[in-house]
Structure 1
Amino acid sequence: MILVTGGLGFIGSHTVRALLDLGEECVLVQRRSAEVPADLAEARVAVERADITDLTALLDVGARHKITGIVHLAGSMPWPPSADEPVEATRKAIGGLLNILQAAQSWGVARVGVASTIGVYAGLPGAGPLREDMPLPMTSPHLIPTFKKVGELLNDHLAEAAGLDVVNYRVSATWGPRGHSDPFFPAPAFVHAAARGTAPDLSGLRAPAYADDAIDLCYVKDTGRAIALLQLADRLDHRTYNVASGRATTNAEVIAAIKKVVPDAPIELPTGGTGHHNHLDITRIQQDTGYRPAYDTESAAADYIAWLRAGNER
């Protein structure tokens, strides 16, 4: 049975679906009560309410279920950010990650996967493929990559010191069902606006968006399947993997894909942008798991719009 933290969340729910499709049973650990999606409401899914910062509560989950692996997708970082008690918030965030690793050691699990982010590559010069073996800048432009870099270093240390099989997932920009507006890229806002027939609200973006801006944009169903394949692979030759589409997608491509489904969608962006078309190299995950993205931009946009038009809020 695979324990998935954040298993009822955005990427988590799709990862659980992929694990189930590959024949696994899952126990989903959530800090708050949440409704189980209809596609996960089956006998092979157990839901436990527990806070991973509470080691006793976490270990109790293992006393009720035979845990064979862990996929840790809940954010081990102070979120949402706050100026109140930052030292204690940091201690709690790092403590949650350490509790997961301690539980893994106590339960003797085969593998622990931990979510990282494309943001760890921020600050690397130039364009082109971003590979897992590239040296990363010591600085980070945002709270999320800061804590993910710290987490990767701790994971590498404890994998060796505690004899754990720990895998870091560097997840690219992800969009799709059960998602939400993202401060770093506008694709989800575009889709929601098209499905509602309104203009997109881009006020939450950290920087203005342009048609030529590009990012490695991965559909969440591909993201979930990639993580499931990494968790269940008989052998992995690396500790860190890019989980991505393996290509750079411009905002103009996203808009064009949406307009194939909703021709009159009021979505426009000015031309221009940074000109950097970075993407994550997915050679490692392809070689070690056989992963290939199943969705291109057009099929992803069509699937996402159909999901929202079926009455789903996000």
Structure 2
Amino acid sequence: MAILVTGGAGYIGSHTVAALLEKGEEVVIVDNLQQGHREALLGGKLYAGDLRDAAFMDTVFKENEIDAIIHFAANSLVGESMTNPAKYYHNNVYGTLCLLEKMNEYGVKKIVFSSTAATYGEPENVPILESDRTLPTNTYGETKLAMEKMMKWFDTAHGIKYVSLRYFNAAGAHAGGKIGEDHSPETHLIPIILQVALGQRAHISVFGDDYATEDGTCVRDYIHVSDLASAHVLAVEKLRAGADSNIYNLGNGTGFSVKQVIDIARKVTGHAIPAVIEPRRAGDPAALIASSERARAELGWKPSHDSLEEIIASAWNWHQNHPYGYSK
């Protein structure tokens, strides 16, 4: 039986494909290659197409014995989601509806969903708990929450069991050095810092240094991408063992400030990495850290790469060898 990974040629998706292959799983990948890269796939069977294309998805399900799905395929830029909400509702929400309908049609009853802690909005608690209210402050988080709710009702009506994994910032690169992070445009802090070290940017902008945190800069979770991949694999195993649907946060438990990330990147790269303090961005909370106690207890998940220095070093190795991404 095969595991279908949607969006499997993307950053977290490709690392999850690698983790599944390492476990000897048969892997099928669906990706429209809007943001993904063929070069990021270390194996598996790729179908280049879109979840919203019913005939295309019929081919995928008819040609493979799929028993579980890991669903990454989605647009994920917060800023873009606010200026083009239609794109996010059509690709994220309608795309997921199309996938769930095909799952029901072909009798596939297990799905692991790549969600986001942006479903919570402004946090009630730090670290954030799964029981906290969900009140997204952007379209991206709203669509992910809608996707979770859709899965809940498909479970009620059709017995499709799901695990939703909510997390913030994936970082780092595969230990083998063959796959890493290549977004266009790049919006994530660590690769942008490393672009400065590579001489591709003059400086890193720090948006606000007067927050109520230890050093005045925003604090966030940074989780090694391979640790996130392992959580998705564990969630599939949990569903295969007959578990009921559930939601889990994934976090490092402490969080790192922007200044801490920059300082460690300077140490890892040996570059000065100039930083310029700029005005706060609207809507940036001071601290966003997700509690992962439930995932640790119920999935048996434990991050193996929780050192920020190790996370940045793995990313630096990738970016040095691929300074302009996969195919540039």
* CA–CA distance in structure 1, aligned partners of residues 83 and 286 of structure 2: 33
Q: 1:1-314 to 2 correspondence within 5 Å?
A: 1-32=2-33, 35-37=37-39, 40-42=41-43, 45-75=44-74, 81=81, 90-91=89-90, 93-125=92-124, 127-137=125-135, 140-176=136-172, 177-180=180-183, 183=187, 186-196=189-199, 198-200=201-203, 202=205, 208-210=207-209, 212-233=217-238, 234-236=241-243, 238-268=245-275, 270=277, 276-295=286-305, 296-314=307-325
Shift of 1:108: 2.4
Answer whether contact 1:257 1:298 (CA < 8 A) is retained. Answer: yes
* CA–CA distance in structure 2, aligned partners of residues 92 and 190 of structure 1: 30
CA shift digits 1:171-227 (9 cap, x unpaired):
2122232243654x523211222234753354xxxx925462101111222212211
* Residue type at the aligned position of 2:217: D
* CA–CA distance in structure 1, aligned partners of residues 189 and 76 of structure 2: 23
Shift of 1:237: 5.5
Answer whether contact 1:197 1:266 (CA < 8 A) is retained. Answer: no
* Residue type at the aligned position of 2:300: G
Name the CA shift for 1:27/1:189 in 2 (closer, same or farther; >3 Å): same
CA shift digits 1:89-108 (9 cap, x unpaired):
73564321111112222332
Shift of 1:270: 4.3
Answer whether contact 2:181 2:191 (CA < 8 A) is retained. Answer: no
Answer whether contact 1:3 1:28 (CA < 8 A) is retained. Answer: yes
* CA–CA distance in structure 1, aligned partners of residues 77 and 100 of structure 2: 18
- Secondary structure, counterpart of 2:74 in structure 1: coil
Unmatched segments (≥5 aa) in structure 2 = 173-179, 210-215
CA shift digits 1:56-89 (9 cap, x unpaired):
21121011111111111011789955978x6697
* CA–CA distance in structure 2, aligned partners of residues 2 and 242 of structure 1: 22
* CA–CA distance in structure 2, aligned partners of residues 53 and 215 of structure 1: 34
Name the CA shift for 1:12/1:175 in 2 (closer, same or farther; >3 Å): same
Shift of 1:275: 8.2
Name the CA shift for 1:312/1:5 in 2 (closer, same or farther; >3 Å): farther
Shift of 1:53: 0.8
Name the CA shift for 1:266/1:78 in 2 (closer, same or farther; >3 Å): closer
* CA–CA distance in structure 1, aligned partners of residues 236 and 201 of structure 2: 40
Q: Counterpart in 1 of 2:177? A: none
Q: Counterpart in 1 of 2:175? A: none
* CA–CA distance in structure 1, aligned partners of residues 107 and 138 of structure 2: 34
Name the CA shift for 1:259/1:50 in 2 (closer, same or farther; >3 Å): same
* CA–CA distance in structure 2, aligned partners of residues 92 and 219 of structure 1: 26
* Residue type at the aligned position of 1:36: R
Unmatched segments (≥5 aa) in structure 1 = none
* Residue type at the aligned position of 2:313: A
Question: Which range is displaced more, 145-154 or 265-274?
Answer: 265-274
Answer whether contact 2:112 2:236 (CA < 8 A) is retained. Answer: yes
Answer whether contact 2:82 2:138 (CA < 8 A) is retained. Answer: no
Name the CA shift for 1:76/1:258 in 2 (closer, same or farther; >3 Å): closer
Name the CA shift for 1:24/1:200 in 2 (closer, same or farther; >3 Å): farther
Shift of 1:269: 5.1
- Secondary structure, counterpart of 2:132 in structure 1: coil
Residues matched between the structures, number: 302
- Secondary structure, counterpart of 1:68 in structure 2: strand
- Secondary structure, counterpart of 2:195 in structure 1: helix
- Secondary structure, counterpart of 2:66 in structure 1: coil
Shift of 1:8: 0.5
CA shift digits 1:232-282 (9 cap, x unpaired):
223546511113323211112211211222233223354998883331111
- Secondary structure, counterpart of 1:280 in structure 2: coil
* RMSD over equivalenced CA pairs, Å: 3.0
Answer whether contact 1:104 1:112 (CA < 8 A) is retained. Answer: no
Answer whether contact 1:235 1:288 (CA < 8 A) is retained. Answer: no
* CA–CA distance in structure 1, aligned partners of residues 91 and 193 of structure 2: 35
